[in-house]
A and B are shown apart, each in its own frame.
Chain A
Amino acid sequence: MTRPNTLEETPSQTAGPYVHIGLTPNWCDIEGVYPEDLGRTMVDAETAGERIIVSGRIFDGSGVPLKDALIEIWQADANGLYNSPLEKRGEADPHFTGWGRQATDGTTGEYRFETIKPGRVPCRDGRLMAPHISFWIVARGINLGLHTRMYFADEDAANGECPVLSGIGSKARAATLIASRGEVDGAATYTFDIHLQGDGETIFFDV
């Protein structure tokens, strides 16, 4: 591979089992250092868009959920704009951070984000992608953070047009990126389980 750059990227090392100390210290009872764990809250009372809950578990190759993993998500606002200085298409919703960080539960392995359903974002050639949420996963045993995407089961038309999703050769593998929609206590809830290995191994991207 030709590498025009002058320096090599710093190599990754696992986040280890105690990632919470650094990234969600209040969650692991280290209180009083930071007022709140970063990424815990993505929305406020005035955030535009449909409120949703995204939850699920991450399974290892023996079907056991990871109870020591950390997930970050990144997504557009309801209009498809990112709350980032590099977003040049317009002003994103100031009431939505677009970024969340959660540990998987130490007992059940479940993660849970309270967020909104994102709008559509164009890819490089201008075609619109389907609404999606980017996931980044680190944990003990993961040597380099894993990137994947969650799509929405109730967005059939948009999913069919999405250059990324429809470009995946295997329909069965593409299906690993689609979260099912349900309702829990009146709240729209998407369940997105991630399988690191084995039957139904989730697609991970080389971004």
Chain B
Amino acid sequence: MSDQPTFTPRDRSWHPPALTPQYKSSVLRSPNQRLLSLDTTLSEMTGPRFGHDLIGPLDNDLIRNYAQTGDAIGQRIIVYGRVLDEDARPVPNVLLEFWQANAGGRYRHRNEGYVAALDPNFGGCGRTVTGADGGYRFRTIKPGAYPWPNGPNDWRPAHIHFSVFGYAFAQRLVTQMYFEGDPMIWQCPIVSAIPDRAAIEQLVAALDRDNTLPMDALAYRFDIVLRGRHSTLFENRLEGN
């Protein structure tokens, strides 16, 4: 069984630590004890897979997938990129899910209290499965910034939430994508939970004029990196699928 693949441990200086007091919700929700290191087993090295047949034709179009009377309101954008592993290999056929506020910064959720208006044509969720080159793409509107209860006057920068599956349960990741040039990125207590500026910059999608749809939508590029595997034998096995 020694040919079972494994991962290098997560670089916990790159991720935000559990306790980040400036983000108040973390104070009572962060484990105090150290994580117990686990020599990964099949339980962590396998994971659910979702086929392209799961995905409906409008699932990657947030402008239309909840439309009742017309397109969602807001600045039309394309978000695209690739899912790679830490060895820069594409990760094909994995599920990405995303969710966001509308153009005014309002979420469609029963616990949402912000006064900004709901858009009847915007639900705020989408999903897609990566292609053979690890690529993905979806269409949406640029979400608005919004205020949130934390400090006396905290605002979130415009962002899109992402959920990413790899091949293994140990690769499971949720994160948030920000937009190039937004000064509010650098004022946010959730963003600053990440200690390293270079790590934060990994979450900032670049405006990509080359992929803009003229007279229609701006494009932002956001590449996602999942944990890599360590076993050459494993590679051969993967290709056997």
**Cβ contact of A142, chosen from B2, B29, B225, cutoff 8 A:** B29
- CA A12 – CA B193 in complex, angstroms? 10
A123–B66 CA distance with the chains assembled, in angstroms: 45
User: Contacting A207 at CB < 8 Å: which of B44, B100, B173, B225?
Assistant: B44
**What is the distance, in angstroms, from B87's C-beta to the closest C-beta of chain A?**
6
Chain A residues closer than 8 Å to B182, beta-carbon distance: none
The 8 Å CB contact of A121, one of B42, B99, B227, B238, is B42
Instruction: Mark interface residues in B1-31 (1 if CB within 8 Å of A CB, else 0).
Output: 1101011111110111110100111111111
Q: A4 to B27, alpha carbons, bound, how many Å?
A: 34
- Whole-angstrom distance between the alpha carbons of A145 and B169 in the complex? 11
Q: Tell whether A30 pairs with B31 under 8 Å between CB atoms, given A22-B99, A143-B20.
A: no
CA gap between A85 and B234 in the complex, in Å: 12
Q: Determine if B59 is an interface residue (Cβ-Cβ < 8 Å).
A: yes
- Check if B48 is an interface residue, CB within 8 A of chain A: yes
Stretch of A44-52, A59-67, A152-160 at the chain-chain interface = A59-67
| Residue B108 at the chain A interface, CB threshold 8 Å | yes
* Interface-centre pick from B32, B175, B230 (highest chain A CB count, 10 A): B175
Within 8 A of A (CB), among B139-182: 161, 163-164, 167-170, 172-176
Whether the Cβ atoms of B226 and A9 lie closer than 8 Å is: yes
Judged by DSSP, the binding face of B is loop
B-facing residues in A93-119 (Cβ within 8 Å): 97-99, 106
Does residue A181 face the partner (Cβ distance < 8 Å to B)? Answer: no
- Residues in A with CB closer than 8 Å to B212 are none
For A12, give its contact among B4, B15, B56 (CB under 8 Å).
B15
Q: For B41, give the chain A residue with the smallest CB separation.
A: A123
Which of B23, B58, B123, B241 counts the most chain A CB atoms within 10 A?
Answer: B123
For the complex, is B215 an interface residue (Cβ under 8 Å from A)? no
* Cα distance A129–B38 in the bound complex, in angstroms: 13
Main secondary structure of the interface of A (DSSP, over half): loop
Q: Which of A9-39 contact B (CB under 8 A)?
A: 9-23, 25, 28-30, 32-34, 38
**B199 lies within 8 A of A144 (CB):** no
Contacts of A18 in B (CB 8 A): 99, 107, 109, 111-112, 161
Known A-B contacts: A9-B227, A62-B28, A143-B18. Give 19 more (CB < 8 A).
A5-B8, A9-B15, A10-B175, A13-B175, A15-B163, A21-B123, A23-B99, A33-B125, A74-B46, A82-B43, A83-B48, A86-B47, A86-B238, A88-B237, A123-B39, A126-B1, A132-B43, A144-B18, A146-B31
Binding site for B on A (CB under 8 A): 1, 3-23, 25, 28-30, 32-34, 38, 60-62, 64, 66, 68, 72, 74-76, 82-88, 97-99, 106, 121-126, 129, 132, 134, 136, 138-147, 149, 164, 168, 173, 196-198, 201-207
B interface residues, Cβ below 8 angstroms from A:
1-2, 4, 6-12, 14-18, 20, 23-33, 35-50, 54, 56, 58-59, 65-66, 84-88, 97-100, 107-112, 123-125, 127, 161, 163-164, 167-170, 172-176, 190-191, 193-194, 198-200, 202-203, 224-228, 230, 237-238, 241
8 tightest Cβ-Cβ pairs between the two chains A and B = A22-B99, A141-B25, A5-B86, A141-B29, A99-B48, A84-B46, A143-B16, A206-B35
